[in-house]
A = this chain, B = another copy of it.
Amino acid sequence: MRQACLALAVLSVCLPVLADEGMWTFDNFPRDSVKSRYGVDIDQPWLDRVRLATVRLEGGCTGSLVSPQGLVLTNHHCVTDCLSRMSTPARDVQAAGFLARTRAEEQRCAAEQASVLVALEDVTAQVIAAVGDGAGPQANRARKAVLTRLEADCEERHRDAGTRQSCEAVTLYGGGQYFIYRYQRYDDVRLVFAPETDIAFFGGDIDNFQFPRWNLDFSLLRLYTGDAPAATPGHLRWRRAGAAAGEPVFVAGHPGSTERLKTVAELRFERNQQLARWLLRAAELRGRYLEFAARGAESARIVQEPLFGLENAFKVRRNQMQVLLDEDFLREREREEQALRGTLAGNARLRPAAGAFDEIGQALATWHTIFDRHLYFERGVALQGELAGYARVLVRAVGEREKPNEQRQREYTDAALPLLEQQVLAPAPVYAELETLRLAFSLEKMVEALGVDDPMVRLALGRVAPRTYAARLVRETKLGDPAFRARLWQGTRAMLEQSGDPLVALALRLEPEALRLRQRHDDEVEAPLAAASERLARARFAVQGKAGYPDATFTLRLSYGAVQGWREAEREITPFTTLEGLYARASGQPPFRLPPRWLRAQDRVNLETRFDFVASTDITGGNSGSPVLDAGGRLVGLIFDGNIHSIGGDYRFDPALNRSVAVHPAVMMLALSDVYGAEPLLREMVIE
C-alpha cells in the first residue's frame, strides 16, 4: 500500500495517514493509522456503539442519542426551522428560548425526521452488473433504476422490523462503490429544550466561523414512536470535564459534501458558473433581507431564520470562492492530475480511464450551454419561497408518481416520498410580505439572467413586472393552507389543473420545459460525468487500493484528531474559551447581547467553566450537531462550526489551520442545571 502511494505521491488522498484528515466511512476507518498516531485502538464494538448512538437529522444535521429515553443532543442552529415554525408575533420562541417542563410540553418539529444507521451493504457488484460498461443515457438510467430497485428490495425485506426501516443507496468515491444504507427512521421528533438565540448564536454572523468563540449552540430533541419516547438502539455517556488539550478525539456525523476528488475542470466550472452566480444572487438577497428586517421588530423576527441560513451559506461560499481563485492551488491540482493521467496512460489495463478527463470537459461544456435555463427552471431558482416551493414539488410529485418506481426521478421514489410528504404537509406560518420578496427576487433574477425576450420568461410572466406578479400570486394562492396542499398531494394532474390556484398554474406552465431541461442534463451532463467519475474512481482503486476516503455525501462518517489550537499569522490560538470571556465580550448590543438570565447568572456561575473549544478533526456542513467523542466513546463536545480555514476544507484539508469548533460539555451541564433549571433532563443522562 505504501508502494502504491509512493507511485501516486502527488495524489492528496495519500496524505491522511500523516494528518488528521478524512471523513471515513465506518467500514473503512484507518484503525492502524490512528493507533500509531494516537495510541488509541478504535475497534469494531466502539464503531458499532458510536454508529448506533449517532442520528442523522433529515433537515441537514447530525445529533447524538444522550439518554435511554430517546433524547437527542444537537445544535440550536439545527432547530431554528422548528423554532421559527413555533413562533408567533406574540410568542417569539427564537428569542425567548424553549424548555418543556413535562413530556406533554415537548413540541413536535413537524418537518423533521431522524435516522439511525443500522446496517450497510456493499452492492457495487450488483450495480456494475446492471449498468455494464456504457457511458450513455441508457447506462445512466439503468444505474438509477438498479439503485431504486435495491432500495425497494431492502425496504420490502425489512417491512416487519417493528420500527420503520428506510433504505437509501449511497454512491461513494464518485461511483467507485455503491452501498445500501438501512436506517431506523423516526418521523416524530419533538423539541425539548433550546436556549435563547442571543446566547446560542452569540456574535451572530460576525463571529460565525471565527474562534475564540462563545456560542451555546445546543438544543435537545426527543424521538417518539407511537406517542411514547422511542427505544433507540444506543446512547452515549457524557464526560463532563471534556477532553484535555492534545487529547485524541473523534467526530461521528454526516458531512454534507466535499469536492476533494473533483477534477480541476470541475472545480473551475464550479467557480466560474456555480459559485460566481450563486454568490451574486445571495449577496443581493441578503441585502433585501437586511433591509426588510430594518422595517421593524416583526419584520426582523420573520426574516431571522432564512437570513441566518443565507448568511451562513454566503460565508461558506465566499471563502470557497477565494480558494478557487487561488491559482497556485489550482495549478498544483493540475500537476497532480497530470501525474495521475501519466500513471494511467502507462498501464495498459487502466489506459481507457485516462480519457475520463476529456469526457468530463465535454460534459461540462454541454452543461455550460444550458446552465442558466436548467438552474432557473429545473432547479427552481426562478421560483423561490415556501409557497412556490410547494407548487413545484406538488406538480413534480404528481407527475412522477404516475410512473413505475424504477423509472422515477430519484427524489420521488417510494423510498424518498415519505420524508418529502412530511415536509410538504407540515404546517408552517406563511408571511406574505416575505414570500413576495423572495418570489419577486427570483423572478427578477430570471429576467436578468435570461432576458425579457426569452420565450420561457414570457411564458412565466407575460408582460407583467416581476414584483407586481409575485405580489398577486402570493395574495391569491391557497398553498399556505396545509389541508389544500394535502388534497393536491394525494391528487391527480387533473386536480392540479382544475385547482384554479395561480401559483400551481405557473408551476404547471413551466413544468414541460423544466422536464425537458432535466432530461438534457440527465442524458448529456449527468450520464457522461457519472460514467467518467466511476472509471476514474475504479482506476484509483486499482492503483492504490482503498487508502483514501470518499468525498462527503451526507452519510455517516468518522473523523479523528486532537483538541488543538492553531497559529494564526503571528498569534497562537489556544483551544478553549471560558465563561469569563463571554461576559467580557458582551456589549449589550446585538449580536453581542446576552439574555437576561445569563446576565443574572454572572455572579453565581464559575467563570472558569470551559465554553467552546477547537479540535483538528476534519468536518464540514452536515456535521453540525455531531458528537465529539473520546477514546472511550464518551461525549466530550458538540460540533457546531469550523474555523474560517475549515471552509477551504471542501477542496483541501490543511492540517496546520483547519479546525472544528465545538461546545464544551461543562457549559452545557452548567446551563441546564444553573441557568435553565432543567435538572430532570440531566437526570435522564449518564454523566461522568
Contact = CB atoms under 8 A, between A and B. Distances in A.
Interface of A: 203, 205-207, 210, 268, 271-272, 276, 279-281, 283-292, 294-295, 318, 321-322, 325-327, 437, 447-448, 451-452, 463-465, 467-468, 587-590, 592
Contacts of A464: 589
Nearest to A330: B327
Contacts of A272: 322, 325-326
Contact of A287 (B268, B288, B447, B468): B288
Given A276-B325, A283-B283, A210 B290 contact: no
Interface centre among A287, A289, A447 (most CB of B within 10 A): A287
Contacts of A292: 291
A370 to B, nearest CB: 14
B280 A291 contact: no
A239 B217 CA distance: 72
Contacts of A448: 205-206
A292 B465 CA distance: 18
Nearest to A469: B589
B287 A451 contact: no
A285 B280 CA distance: 11
Contacts of A285: 287
Contacts of A280: 279-280, 283, 318
A286 B445 CA distance: 13
Contact of A447 (B206, B294, B326): B206
A467 B294 contact: yes
The 4 A-B pairs of least Cβ separation, nearest first, read A287-B287, A283-B283, A291-B291, A463-B587
Contact of A288 (B288, B321, B447): B288
B589 A465 contact: yes
Nearest to A444: B290
A326 B203 CA distance: 38
Contacts of A276: 321-322, 325
Contacts of A437: 291, 294
A287 B291 contact: yes
Interface centre among A210, A288, A322, A326 (most CB of B within 10 A): A288
A628 B332 CA distance: 50
Contact of A206 (B318, B327, B452): B452
A390 to B, nearest CB: 24
B288 A589 contact: no
Contacts of A289: 287
Given A280-B283, A284-B284, A465-B589, A451 B291 contact: no
A590 B467 CA distance: 11
Contact of A283 (B287, B295, B590): B287
A125 B216 CA distance: 68
A307 B345 CA distance: 56
Given A268-B327, A280-B318, A447-B206, A468 B288 contact: no
Nearest to A589: B465
A89 B280 CA distance: 33
A131 to B, nearest CB: 33
Contact of A463 (B284, B327, B467, B592): B592
A268 B328 CA distance: 12
A447 B321 CA distance: 20
Nearest to A272: B325
A570 B375 CA distance: 23
Contacts of A588: 463
A589 B206 contact: no
A645 to B, nearest CB: 15
A67 to B, nearest CB: 38
A452 B294 CA distance: 21
26 contacts: A203-B452, A205-B448, A206-B452, A207-B452, A210-B451, A271-B325, A272-B325, A272-B326, A276-B325, A279-B279, A279-B280, A279-B283, A280-B283, A280-B318, A284-B286, A284-B287, A285-B287, A287-B287, A287-B288, A287-B290, A288-B288, A291-B291, A291-B437, A463-B592, A465-B590, A468-B589
Interface centre among A271, A325, A592 (most CB of B within 10 A): A325
Contacts of A284: 283-284, 286-287, 290
Contacts of A295: 295
A584 B308 CA distance: 44
